[in-house]
Structure 1
Amino acid sequence: MKLDKVRDLFIIGCYTGLRFSDLNQISPDNFINNNTQIKVKTEKTGEFVVIPLHKTVKEIVQKYDNSIPDVISNQKMNEYLKEVAKLAELNDRITISSTKGGTKQTEVFEKWELVTVHTARRSFATNMYLLDIPTISIMKITGHRTEKAFLLYIKISQEENANKLLNHPFFKQS
């Protein structure tokens, strides 16, 4: 049961781009316009964001009587998310390189080991970008004030970038 709730919270994060701290404060009062949107005052910036609700989020909200599952601590959420991701067999191997003290280090993880609640927010930004939603519209939802900060959230592979460009009129001419 706890893993179902954690999964549902993660899905809400993937479809809204909300930070964990903002998911934590959602109540039925945040749902507006006949539950088609959610309006939240973000904890980090104090700004309001209004987010249209995807059908999947609406279904989860209905499941919890016009609310969302109770939020647990960030630490527990991350712990349980790893369980959910492991059960979902997110076993792709991911290589992460970093430099510490001038020495380059490389570590290999299975994808499930890297999933955190913040992954939902990054996934939202990347998925909206890949759907060609204008950057400014996505930033209005994520609350990013600069495109530079926003673009740090976009994680696409070279192949995803090339596929996205194939749909551009410039490349359709040939």
Structure 2
Amino acid sequence: MTIKVIVKKDSNGNPRLSRKGETTIYVRYQHNSKVADFQACKIAPKSIEFVEVRGKLEIMEPYIKQRVKGRLDAIENIDLVKRDIKAAVNRLIAKGIEPMPKIVKREFEAGFVQDSEEELRPMIKEVFRDYINAQSHAGVAKGTLKQYNSTLNHIESFHKSEGFEYAIDQADLNYYDALVSYLKVTHKGITKESTVGKNIKTLKSMLRWARSRGYEVHPDVDLKAFKVAKSTKKVYYLTEEEVSRLLDAELSDNHKLSRVRDRFVFNCYVGLRVGDLNRLNIKHIQTIEREGKKVKLIEAITEKQKKRGFIPLKPIPLSILEKYDYSLPNISDQKYNMYLKELLKKVEIDRAIEIAPGEFEPLYSLVTSHLAVKTFITLCHKWGIPTKHVASITGKTEKVINEYYYAVSDEDLIDVMLFNNQ
């Protein structure tokens, strides 16, 4: 199936003209070697953007030359016809009808209006908004709601590009394939499999929620092929030596990086989510007595899971908290991640990380606030803290920790392979 913009030509190969000296621009739909032409607009040939292809004149986008009267209206008409052709094709496919050009033309000329039965079918975007609203009332974290809204925006853009609004029961494997292709190729070129997977995961959660509320959902959503792509990239982290190097760095002349360093190093020892880190204050600090010693710990209800968590404070994070009177510097995510890269580069934490086969980047160029959580989880393993306790502290499941956060430290691997079995 192809759609392209053409003009019809006379016997000399020139654009065919009307009595007014205008030529008609058509949108041609082709399927299985059959074609149908749809009139889009009329305009003087000299106003059209032509390019010579194999000795023939072809129209090239944006179709109409700059500074031509009526240019925007002509382009809009062409784009409208292209969208309506796609909409007609999609309606036929949804009905199980092969979109042959003659049938598409009949559907196109019918008025581009879905029949009354289809109009009553709940649309994906409408149900999605209900889902987000329900999750908001259920107390889902702001960051999660932001992800839901982002996925909805992607889906609305996808539907717009297709020229068709999909109903909730039309989200089948064909829909999945088209959406994944759109996310990867058309819509801003999302290159990370994990980012595409995150959007598909949100879509599947919404569809299953819709089914539980009585909506008719296509059974393809339960197939393995309707999959959530997962990231296979290496989990990188800071070693204890690198954390110590950050802590010992002389930054008295750089107040900005000093504050960023303290916030980051603190979280390398406690592993809090960004939202929980931002809310942390002296009311969350408790003092208990353990084996004759007074111990301070963080006791807080996590923003995402709404669970009460306890994090014992080691001397280093406790001293950082006391430095700021138990209220850490609050920095916007964008600036924080930008300053972190500057900080690690200044402290020369620049070991090479292989991000793809044969492709390396210095660690400082990859750092984000999330690196602190990965570092915390990896260091906890080195300290001998069981994964179930790490899960309790971070609010993540053991499965998620093992798949996405835990990394075997190079030092541990060397010790096990070379020294422990001698």
Question: How would you bin the TM-score normalised by the shorter chain?
Answer: 0.7 to 0.9
Identity of counterpart residues, as a percentage?
A: 36
Structure 2: distance between partners of 1:164 and 1:54? 27
Q: Distance in 2 between matches of 1:58 and 1:89?
A: 26
Q: State the partner residue of 1:95.
A: 354
Q: What is the aligned partner in structure 1 of residue 393 from structure 2?
A: 141
Q: Distance in 2 between matches of 1:47 and 1:166?
A: 42
- Corresponding residue for residue 338 of structure 2: 79
Other-structure match for 1:59: 319
Cα distance, 1:62–1:123 mapped onto 2, change above 3 Å: same
1:60–1:68 Cα contact (<8 Å) kept: no
Structure showing greater relative contact order (alpha-carbon pairs closer than 8 Å, 6 or more residues apart): 1
Q: Give the Å deviation of 1:148.
A: 1.5
Residue 131 of structure 1: how far off its partner (Å): 1.6
- Counterpart check, 1:119 vs 2:119: no
What is the alpha-carbon distance in structure 1 between the residues aligned to residue 327 and residue 265 of structure 2?
A: 11
The CA distance in 2 between the partners of 1:69 and 1:119, in whole Å, is: 18
Q: Is the 8 A contact 1:130 1:164 kept in 2?
A: no
Local SS of the residue matching 1:144: coil
Query: Is the Cα–Cα contact under 8 Å of residues 9 and 68 in structure 1 kept in the other structure?
Result: no
Task: Please give the root-mean-square deviation of Cα atoms over the aligned residues, in Å.
Answer: 2.1
Deviations 1:84-138 (A, max 9, x none): 10111011111112xxxxxxx7532111011111000010000010121111111
**Cα pair 1:144 1:150 within 8 Å, conserved:** yes
Aligned to 1:15: 269
Structure 2 Cα separation of the partners of residues 144 and 96 of structure 1:
24
Change in Cα spacing, 1:156 to 1:46, as seen in structure 2 (3 Å) is same
TM-score when normalising by structure 2: 0.36
- What is aligned with 1:100? none
Q: Say whether the 8 Å CA contact 1:17–1:121 is kept in structure 2.
A: yes
SS in 2 for 1:36: strand
SS at match of 2:263: helix
Structure 1: where are the runs of 5+ without partners?
98-104
Structure with larger Rg: 2
Q: Aligned partner of 1:118: which letter?
A: H
TM-score (norm 1): 0.83
Alignment partners' CA distance in 2, 1:11 and 1:158: 20
- Count of aligned residue pairs for this structure pair: 161
The counterpart of 2:307, out of the listed 42, 47, 71, is: 47
Maintained 8 Å contact 2:285/2:298: yes
2:378·2:409 contact (CA, 8 Å) conserved in 1?
no
Alpha-carbon distance between aligned partners in 1 of 2:419 and 2:387, rounded to the nearest angstrom: 17
Mapped pair 1:68 → 2:327: yes
Matching residue within 37, 48, 59 for 2:297: 37
The superposition leaves residues 46-87 of structure 1 with CA deviations (integer Å, 9 ceiling, x where unpaired) of 11211000100111111112x132211111111111111011
2:258 corresponds to which residue? 4
Letter in 1 for 2:264: F
| Contact preservation (8 Å) 2:378, 2:407 | yes
Letter of the structure 1 residue corresponding to residue 308 of structure 2: F
Structure 2 residue ranges without an equivalent (≥5): 1-254, 289-294
| Worse-superposed segment, 129-138 or 23-32 | 129-138
What amino acid is the match of 2:345? K
2:93 corresponds to which residue?
none
